[in-house]
Amino acid sequence: DAGVIQSPRHEVTEMGQEVTLRCKPISGHNSLFWYRQTMMRGLELLIYFNNNVPIDDSGMPEDRFSAKMPNASFSTLKIQPSEPRDSAVYFCASSRGADRLNEQFFGPGTRLTVL
Amino acid sequence: GESVGLHLPTLSVQEGDNSIINCAYSNSASDYFIWYKQESGKGPQFIIDIRSNMDKRQGQRVTVLLNKTVKHLSLQIAATQPGDSAVYFCAENDQGGKLIFGQGTELSVKP
Protein backbone atom coordinates (compact mmCIF):
# COMPACT_ATOMS: atom_id res chain seq x y z
CA ASP A 1 0.00 0.00 0.00
CA ALA A 2 1.62 3.23 -1.17
CA GLY A 3 -0.22 5.48 1.26
CA VAL A 4 -1.07 9.09 0.49
CA ILE A 5 1.41 10.55 -1.99
CA GLN A 6 2.28 14.24 -2.06
CA SER A 7 4.51 16.19 -4.37
CA PRO A 8 6.75 18.03 -4.28
CA ARG A 9 8.16 17.24 -0.83
CA HIS A 10 9.89 20.60 -0.69
CA GLU A 11 9.15 23.79 -2.58
CA VAL A 12 11.04 27.06 -2.39
CA THR A 13 9.62 29.95 -4.34
CA GLU A 14 9.64 33.70 -4.45
CA MET A 15 6.84 35.95 -3.32
CA GLY A 16 4.28 36.48 -6.07
CA GLN A 17 4.86 33.16 -7.78
CA GLU A 18 2.18 30.54 -8.26
CA VAL A 19 2.57 27.35 -6.25
CA THR A 20 0.78 24.07 -6.94
CA LEU A 21 0.81 21.22 -4.46
CA ARG A 22 -0.34 17.76 -5.51
CA CYS A 23 -1.91 14.84 -3.72
CA LYS A 24 -2.82 11.30 -4.64
CA PRO A 25 -5.10 9.73 -1.99
CA ILE A 26 -5.11 6.08 -1.06
CA SER A 27 -6.95 4.03 -3.67
CA GLY A 28 -10.53 3.40 -2.60
CA HIS A 29 -10.68 6.38 -0.25
CA ASN A 30 -13.28 8.92 -1.23
CA SER A 31 -12.69 11.69 1.29
CA LEU A 32 -9.69 13.97 0.93
CA PHE A 33 -8.46 16.69 3.27
CA TRP A 34 -5.89 19.49 2.92
CA TYR A 35 -4.22 20.76 6.12
CA ARG A 36 -1.63 23.42 6.85
CA GLN A 37 0.80 23.18 9.75
CA THR A 38 2.76 26.08 11.24
CA MET A 39 4.36 26.62 14.60
CA MET A 40 2.11 29.60 15.25
CA ARG A 41 -1.24 28.04 14.38
CA GLY A 42 -0.64 24.30 14.61
CA LEU A 43 -2.49 21.96 12.26
CA GLU A 44 -5.44 23.57 10.49
CA LEU A 45 -7.95 22.08 8.09
CA LEU A 46 -8.14 24.12 4.89
CA ILE A 47 -10.69 22.19 2.82
CA TYR A 48 -12.10 18.72 2.42
CA PHE A 49 -13.73 16.81 -0.42
CA ASN A 50 -16.08 13.87 -0.48
CA ASN A 51 -16.49 12.00 -3.77
CA ASN A 52 -14.50 14.79 -5.47
CA VAL A 53 -16.93 17.48 -4.31
CA PRO A 54 -15.75 20.23 -1.93
CA ILE A 55 -17.77 19.92 1.27
CA ASP A 56 -16.23 22.56 3.51
CA ASP A 57 -13.73 25.19 2.42
CA SER A 58 -14.21 27.50 5.39
CA GLY A 59 -10.59 26.99 6.41
CA MET A 60 -9.17 28.35 3.17
CA PRO A 61 -7.43 31.53 4.29
CA GLU A 62 -8.25 33.78 1.35
CA ASP A 63 -8.96 33.91 -2.35
CA ARG A 64 -5.32 33.33 -3.18
CA PHE A 65 -5.89 29.70 -2.18
CA SER A 66 -7.84 27.29 -4.35
CA ALA A 67 -8.23 23.51 -4.39
CA LYS A 68 -9.52 21.09 -6.97
CA MET A 69 -10.22 17.40 -7.17
CA PRO A 70 -10.81 16.53 -10.83
CA ASN A 71 -11.00 12.80 -10.13
CA ALA A 72 -10.87 10.30 -7.30
CA SER A 73 -7.11 9.86 -7.50
CA PHE A 74 -5.81 13.41 -7.70
CA SER A 75 -6.14 16.76 -5.97
CA THR A 76 -4.29 20.06 -6.15
CA LEU A 77 -3.90 22.99 -3.81
CA LYS A 78 -2.88 26.17 -5.55
CA ILE A 79 -1.63 29.44 -4.09
CA GLN A 80 -1.55 32.41 -6.45
CA PRO A 81 0.16 34.74 -5.75
CA SER A 82 2.19 33.25 -2.91
CA GLU A 83 3.33 35.31 0.08
CA PRO A 84 5.99 34.69 2.75
CA ARG A 85 3.28 34.07 5.37
CA ASP A 86 2.14 31.05 3.34
CA SER A 87 5.34 29.27 4.35
CA ALA A 88 4.25 26.09 6.14
CA VAL A 89 4.01 22.35 5.78
CA TYR A 90 0.93 21.34 3.80
CA PHE A 91 -0.53 17.90 4.42
CA CYS A 92 -3.02 15.93 2.42
CA ALA A 93 -5.02 13.17 4.12
CA SER A 94 -7.60 10.69 2.89
CA SER A 95 -10.19 8.45 4.49
CA ARG A 96 -12.56 5.75 3.40
CA GLY A 97 -16.20 6.63 2.93
CA ALA A 98 -18.13 9.68 3.99
CA ASP A 99 -18.37 8.65 7.61
CA ARG A 100 -16.60 11.33 9.58
CA LEU A 101 -15.57 8.73 12.13
CA ASN A 102 -13.25 7.04 9.67
CA GLU A 103 -9.51 7.23 10.26
CA GLN A 104 -7.65 9.82 8.24
CA PHE A 105 -4.33 8.76 6.72
CA PHE A 106 -1.84 11.57 6.22
CA GLY A 107 0.74 12.01 3.51
CA PRO A 108 4.34 13.05 4.22
CA GLY A 109 3.61 16.72 3.57
CA THR A 110 5.02 19.43 1.32
CA ARG A 111 7.28 21.94 3.02
CA LEU A 112 6.69 25.29 1.32
CA THR A 113 9.04 28.22 1.74
CA VAL A 114 8.09 31.54 0.17
CA LEU A 115 10.95 34.03 0.11
CA GLY B 1 11.21 39.87 10.30
CA GLU B 2 11.60 36.66 12.23
CA SER B 3 8.38 35.20 13.57
CA VAL B 4 8.12 33.81 17.04
CA GLY B 5 6.74 30.32 17.16
CA LEU B 6 4.86 28.58 19.88
CA HIS B 7 6.84 26.39 22.23
CA LEU B 8 5.14 23.06 22.54
CA PRO B 9 4.62 21.56 25.99
CA THR B 10 7.31 18.96 26.51
CA LEU B 11 7.22 15.74 28.46
CA SER B 12 10.50 14.03 29.20
CA VAL B 13 10.46 10.44 30.47
CA GLN B 14 12.93 7.69 31.11
CA GLU B 15 12.87 4.68 28.83
CA GLY B 16 10.68 2.00 30.35
CA ASP B 17 8.55 4.41 32.37
CA ASN B 18 4.90 5.11 31.62
CA SER B 19 3.95 8.37 29.89
CA ILE B 20 0.76 10.35 30.28
CA ILE B 21 -0.07 13.07 27.79
CA ASN B 22 -3.03 15.30 28.50
CA CYS B 23 -5.35 17.28 26.29
CA ALA B 24 -8.25 19.63 26.94
CA TYR B 25 -10.83 19.87 24.19
CA SER B 26 -13.09 22.77 23.52
CA ASN B 27 -16.46 21.65 22.23
CA SER B 28 -18.87 19.80 24.49
CA ALA B 29 -20.70 18.59 21.36
CA SER B 30 -17.63 16.70 20.11
CA ASP B 31 -18.30 12.99 20.07
CA TYR B 32 -15.20 11.45 18.56
CA PHE B 33 -11.59 11.89 19.60
CA ILE B 34 -8.32 10.72 18.13
CA TRP B 35 -4.69 10.71 19.17
CA TYR B 36 -2.07 11.18 16.48
CA LYS B 37 1.71 10.77 16.64
CA GLN B 38 3.93 12.92 14.45
CA GLU B 39 7.60 12.15 14.02
CA SER B 40 9.99 14.73 12.67
CA GLY B 41 9.57 15.24 8.94
CA LYS B 42 6.51 13.01 8.68
CA GLY B 43 2.77 13.38 8.63
CA PRO B 44 0.57 12.62 11.65
CA GLN B 45 -0.05 8.94 12.23
CA PHE B 46 -3.20 7.54 13.86
CA ILE B 47 -2.64 5.92 17.25
CA ILE B 48 -6.02 5.32 18.85
CA ASP B 49 -9.51 6.75 18.89
CA ILE B 50 -12.45 6.84 21.27
CA ARG B 51 -16.11 7.72 20.93
CA SER B 52 -17.96 9.79 23.46
CA ASN B 53 -20.05 6.84 24.66
CA MET B 54 -16.89 5.35 26.15
CA ASP B 55 -14.53 6.58 28.84
CA LYS B 56 -11.62 4.26 28.22
CA ARG B 57 -10.15 2.38 25.31
CA GLN B 58 -7.02 0.28 25.18
CA GLY B 59 -4.68 -0.56 22.36
CA GLN B 60 -1.26 -2.09 22.23
CA ARG B 61 0.74 -0.28 24.95
CA VAL B 62 -1.60 2.72 24.70
CA THR B 63 -4.74 3.66 26.59
CA VAL B 64 -6.97 6.66 25.99
CA LEU B 65 -9.13 8.05 28.77
CA LEU B 66 -12.02 10.43 28.17
CA ASN B 67 -13.59 12.62 30.84
CA LYS B 68 -16.51 14.43 29.27
CA THR B 69 -17.42 16.24 32.47
CA VAL B 70 -14.25 18.33 32.34
CA LYS B 71 -13.62 17.92 28.59
CA HIS B 72 -10.32 16.18 29.12
CA LEU B 73 -8.55 13.48 27.15
CA SER B 74 -5.39 11.63 28.05
CA LEU B 75 -3.07 9.21 26.32
CA GLN B 76 -1.13 6.73 28.39
CA ILE B 77 1.86 4.94 26.90
CA ALA B 78 3.13 1.95 28.82
CA ALA B 79 6.84 1.09 28.96
CA THR B 80 7.83 4.07 26.85
CA GLN B 81 10.51 3.39 24.24
CA PRO B 82 12.89 5.70 22.34
CA GLY B 83 10.77 5.15 19.22
CA ASP B 84 7.87 6.79 21.01
CA SER B 85 9.68 10.15 20.89
CA ALA B 86 7.47 12.41 18.78
CA VAL B 87 4.85 15.14 18.98
CA TYR B 88 1.44 13.85 20.06
CA PHE B 89 -1.77 15.59 19.02
CA CYS B 90 -5.28 15.07 20.23
CA ALA B 91 -8.07 15.85 17.78
CA GLU B 92 -11.81 16.25 18.27
CA ASN B 93 -14.59 15.80 15.75
CA ASP B 94 -17.40 18.19 16.44
CA GLN B 95 -20.02 16.32 14.41
CA GLY B 96 -19.40 18.66 11.51
CA GLY B 97 -17.08 16.33 9.68
CA LYS B 98 -13.93 18.21 10.57
CA LEU B 99 -11.12 17.32 12.92
CA ILE B 100 -9.86 20.09 15.18
CA PHE B 101 -6.35 19.48 16.41
CA GLY B 102 -4.79 20.52 19.70
CA GLN B 103 -1.42 22.25 19.82
CA GLY B 104 0.53 19.07 20.50
CA THR B 105 2.87 17.77 23.19
CA GLU B 106 6.45 16.81 22.50
CA LEU B 107 7.46 13.53 24.14
CA SER B 108 11.16 12.98 24.68
CA VAL B 109 12.35 9.57 25.84
CA LYS B 110 15.70 9.37 27.56
CA PRO B 111 17.60 6.10 27.15
Question: Does B3 score more than 60 pLDDT?
Answer: no
Cβ-based neighbours of A67, under 8 Å, separated by 6 or more:
A34, A46, A47, A49, A54, A57, A60, A75, A76, A77, A78
Residues 16-35 of B with CB under 8 A from A: 32, 34
Buried b (16+ CB within 10 A) or exposed e, B13-43: beeeeebebebebeeeebbbbbbbbbeeeeb
Question: Does B2 score more than 60 pLDDT?
Answer: no
Q: Tens digit of pLDDT for each residue in A31-65? A: 999 999 998 888 999 999 999 999 989 999 889 99
Cβ of B45 and A106 within 8 Å? yes
Mean pLDDT of all residues in B51-67: 96
B48, B89, B99: best to mutate for the A interface, most A CBs within 10 A: B99
DSSP A31: E
Q: Are strands B10-14 and B105-110 parallel, antiparallel or unpaired?
A: parallel
Question: Does A99 score more than 90 pLDDT?
Answer: no
Q: Does any CB of chain A come closer than 8 Å to the CB of residue B41?
A: yes
Q: Does any CB of chain A come closer than 8 Å to the CB of residue B65?
A: no
Question: Does A28 score more than 90 pLDDT?
Answer: yes
Mean pLDDT of all residues in A62-74: 95
CA of A100 to nearest chain B CA: how many angstroms apart? 5
Return the pLDDT at A1.
65
- CB-based contact A57:A47 (threshold 8 Å): yes
Residues of A in CB contact (< 8 Å) with B are: 4, 38-40, 42-45, 48, 55-56, 59, 91, 93, 100-101, 103-109
Return the pLDDT at B5.
47
Q: Does any CB of chain A come closer than 8 Å to the CB of residue B48?
A: no
Mean pLDDT of all residues in A63-92: 97
**Average pLDDT across chain B, whole number:** 90
Closest Cβ–Cβ partner in A4, A39, A104 for B99: A104
Closest Cβ–Cβ partner in B5, B43, B95 for A39: B5
Question: Does B108 score more than 50 pLDDT?
Answer: yes
Question: Does B62 score more than 50 pLDDT?
Answer: yes
Mean pLDDT of all residues in A61-70: 95
Return the pLDDT at A100.
62
